[in-house]
Amino acid sequence: MSKLALVTGATSGIGKAFAERLAADGHDLVVVGRRQDRLDEFAAAHTDVEVRAVAADLSTDDGIDTVAEIAAAEPLDLLVNNAGVAHYMPLADLPAAKARELVKVKVLAPTMLARAAVAGMRERGRGTIVNVAGMIAFSGPAPHSQMPRRAVYAGSLAHLVTLSQTLSAELEGTGVRVQVVCPGVVATEFHERQGLDLSAVPRMSAADVVTASLRGLALGEVVCAPGVEDTSLLDAVFRADLAAFAGQRTELAGRYRSGQLS
């Protein structure tokens, strides 16, 4: 019996690379995207497996609900939450409609799709959820001079990292795995849609991101960073997070009790 995978944002970039790799590995697919023509082209080019094309806009409640119903009803072996938008700009400059779109696509949609899929996966005792984030999730402490501000975008990716880590812990022992993959700059249409020319910037291929994710699952990685050679750097971040969490007390910290503010 073929395995079944659902991939969002499957019409280009990392999502398409995931869909192509999974089809080559014999997975039947539910491919989700906004453009019906591209979904149909993908299905026509992959006749060796069963491909169900679902046109849905994950920035809308109807689009999220449509795909969530499929994720809940179908016996998914793999859910890849990849769909994304960028909207790189400071919060004060970000139009409300774009802020809402970004949060729905990168926070609400993956949360609701994972919720829809996880119950069935847990009952079957197997399944994998992959959330596609990015290394910008770790960029919060960077000074203004180091990189352009994009608070909502960075915050949405950080949500995916914490969601994935916490969900992985919740599902320990159930046979269901969770991973968040955090690439750096990738050679896709993603930045071109924002009017950004990164042709002169070294970029990883979408296919390499998929290779890292699948290999990372085999290695048991919950956080997969395809371009980070020294994984002790990630380990240090996570140890510091837990140390800060464990370092809290019920008493007010001394720096807030002593001295007077001028």
Residues recognised as catalytic: 153
b (16+ CB within 10 A) / e for 195-228? eeeeeeeebbebbbbbebbbebbeeebbbbbbbb
Q: State the Cα–Cα distance between residues 219 and 82, nearest whole angstrom.
A: 21
What DSSP designation does 261 have?
-
Q: How many residues does the chain have?
A: 262
Residue with tokens 């996570």: 238
**Quick one: CA torsion of 228, 229, 233, 238, rounded to 10 degrees?**
60
